[in-house]
């Protein structure tokens, strides 16, 4: 793997910006849509992922033998930043490139790396995340989906919920209980699940926006081959915690660029507001600039990931609420801004609820006593 130098990264940044401009001019680039792939952009996003792969702009820090370029994570950071500046999607979806891909590189066998990494980079293999359950959302240790060992396979039964793009995904990263008698965090295993296996049923959930980004997924006696296990049997909790750390820190420095764009939009929105509206925007700007400074100073510190996630989720929700207030009666009309208002409550849930983030900050960052267990 190459090492990153300041001069080398500057040159790479210029190359990245040029590629993105040319791809946009050619009509190949897919517009940014955040961590969750919007169903309407499913096909354009797949074509964009393939275009990037064909031109050598995917898996920048992934090994060359698996389709990457063998560069550094700093190069990937530059790619993310320049995609944010250009308003272009940096990858097909977070669940595949960041969560599944990094987990397979970190924990997978050589056979698993060969089977899954390159197709993930080309966009042939779309992934979904199968963690949350109706009775185990933020408390993943309490999940009830069971994969019972049966010779050289596991028989999977249970249910997952809030799985984005499960209706399109070829594979999913799955947590299921394989040792029912073990302490709850030690009896969980991590699987790479083929979504086409008999017994897997996906039911899209219609949201207030009318879209169907999220799904329920049901498992009815699904026979999962033993080679689908990622890592050790019963060791899935450690694999999953590393995956969730990847999820919380996935935006990196591009998140600062996105935040500063939002702050500029807030200033524009306050132009015709009255005194109370301007005060509300000023409060948001103060919080946003403080968050941007925190992310710039401590973004590489993994302990800051839950702090940034919490602050950004709450700020995003309040941004939409203030923006809706400033629009007045027009906020009741159909359109992208109204969709954003209807979508906003999900900001406090996706990627770990705000309540759970506060617990993580209190217990793991500040060293406070654990929350009493019922």
Judge whether 111 lies within some domain: no
Q: If residue 216 lies in a helix (H) or strand (E), which one and from where to where? A: strand 214-225
Report the distance separating Cα 45 and Cα 58, nearest Å.
13
β-strands 127-130, 171-177: how paired? parallel
Take residue 282 and report the two structure tokens written for it: 């000023």
Q: Is 15 a catalytic residue?
A: no
Report the distance separating Cα 339 and Cα 5, nearest Å.
43
Judge whether 324 lies within some domain: yes
Cα–Cα distances (Å) from 88 to 3, 24, 28, 29, 36, in that order, read 26, 8, 10, 6, 14
Find the domain containing 44 and state its range. Answer: 6-92
Residues 202, 138: one domain?
yes
Looking up residue 293, the CATH number of its domain turns out to be 1.20.140.10
Report the distance separating Cα 100 and Cα 192, nearest Å.
8
Residues 225, 158: one domain?
yes
> What is residue 365's DSSP assignment?
I
Domain boundary among 236, 268, 287: 236
Judge whether 105 lies within some domain: no
Residues 17, 58: one domain?
yes
Looking up residue 85, the CATH number of its domain turns out to be 1.10.540
Residue 92 has a pLDDT of 95
Residues 355, 292: one domain?
yes
Residue 374 has a pLDDT of 66
Judge whether 112 lies within some domain: no
Number of residues that make up the chain: 374
Residues 193, 270: one domain?
no
| Burial tier of 78 (Cβ tally within 10 Å: 0-12, 13-18, 19+) | buried
Domain boundary among 70, 92, 114: 92
Residue 251 has a pLDDT of 53
Residues 176, 258: one domain?
no
Residue 352 has a pLDDT of 78
Number of domains the chain is built from: 3
Catalytic residue among 82, 133, 213, 247: 247
Residues in CB range of 250: below 8 A, 6 or more apart: 35, 94, 98, 99
Residues 352, 271: one domain?
yes
Residues 173, 78: one domain?
no
Looking up residue 222, the CATH number of its domain turns out to be 2.40.110.10
Per-residue pLDDT of the chain (374 residues; tens, 9 = 90+): 556 788 899 999 999 999 999 999 999 999 998 878 988 999 999 999 999 999 999 999 999 999 999 999 999 999 999 999 999 999 999 999 999 999 999 999 999 999 999 999 999 999 999 999 998 876 778 899 999 999 999 999 999 999 999 999 999 999 999 998 888 888 999 999 999 999 999 999 998 888 888 999 999 999 999 999 999 999 999 999 888 777 766 555 678 888 999 999 888 878 778 899 899 999 999 999 999 999 888 877 778 888 988 999 999 999 999 988 888 888 888 878 888 888 888 888 877 789 988 998 999 899 999 888 76
Report the distance separating Cα 311 and Cα 290, nearest Å.
10
Residue 372 has a pLDDT of 81
Residues 276, 229: one domain?
no
Judge whether 336 lies within some domain: yes
Judge whether 279 lies within some domain: yes
Judge whether 243 lies within some domain: no
Residue 210 has a pLDDT of 84
Judge whether 201 lies within some domain: yes
Residue 296 has a pLDDT of 86
Residues 263, 352: one domain?
yes
Residues 266, 230: one domain?
no
Residues 208, 286: one domain?
no
């Amino acid at each position: 793997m190459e090492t990153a130098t300041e001069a080398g990264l500057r040159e790479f940044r210029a190359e990245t910006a040029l590629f993105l401009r040319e791809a946009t001019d050619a009509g190949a680039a897919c517009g940014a849509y955040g961590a969750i792939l919007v169903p309407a952009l499913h096909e354009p996003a797949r074509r964009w992922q393939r275009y990037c792969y064909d031109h050598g702009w995917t898996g920048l820090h992934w090994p060359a033998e698996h389709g990457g370029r063998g560069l550094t994570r700093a190069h990937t950071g530059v790619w993310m930043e320049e995609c944010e500046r250009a308003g272009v999607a940096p990858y097909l979806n977070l669940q595949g490139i960041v969560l599944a891909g990094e987990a397979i590189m970190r924990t997978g066998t050589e056979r698993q790396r060969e089977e899954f990494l390159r197709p993930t980079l080309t966009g042939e293999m779309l992934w979904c995340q199968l963690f949350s359950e109706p009775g185990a959302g933020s408390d993943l240790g309490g999940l009830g989906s069971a994969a019972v060992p049966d010779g050289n396979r596991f028989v999977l039964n249970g249910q997952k919920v809030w799985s984005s793009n499960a209706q399109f995904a070829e594979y999913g990263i799955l947590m299921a209980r394989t040792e029912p008698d073990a302490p709850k965090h030690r009896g969980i295993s991590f699987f790479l699940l083929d979504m086409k296996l008999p017994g897997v049923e996906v039911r899209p959930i219609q949201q207030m926006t009318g879209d169907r980004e999220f799904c329920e997924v049901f498992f009815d006696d699904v026979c999962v081959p033993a080679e689908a296990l990622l890592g050790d049997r019963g060791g899935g909790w450690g694999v999953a915690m590393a995956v969730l750390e990847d999820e919380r820190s996935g935006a990196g420095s591009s998140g600062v660029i996105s935040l500063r764009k939002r702050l500029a939009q807030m200033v524009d929105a306050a132009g015709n507001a009255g005194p109370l509206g301007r005060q509300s925007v000023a409060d948001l700007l103060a919080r946003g600039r403080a968050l941007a400074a925190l992310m710039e100073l401590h973004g590489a510190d993994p302990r800051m990931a839950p702090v940034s996630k919490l602050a950004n989720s709450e700020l995003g929700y309040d941004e939409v609420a203030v923006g809706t207030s400033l629009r007045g009666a027009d906020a009741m009309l159909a359109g992208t801004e109204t969709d954003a208002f209807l979508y906003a409550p999900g900001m406090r849930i996706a990627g770990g609820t705000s309540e759970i983030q506060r617990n993580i900050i209190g217990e793991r960052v500040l060293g406070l006593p654990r929350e009493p267990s019922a």
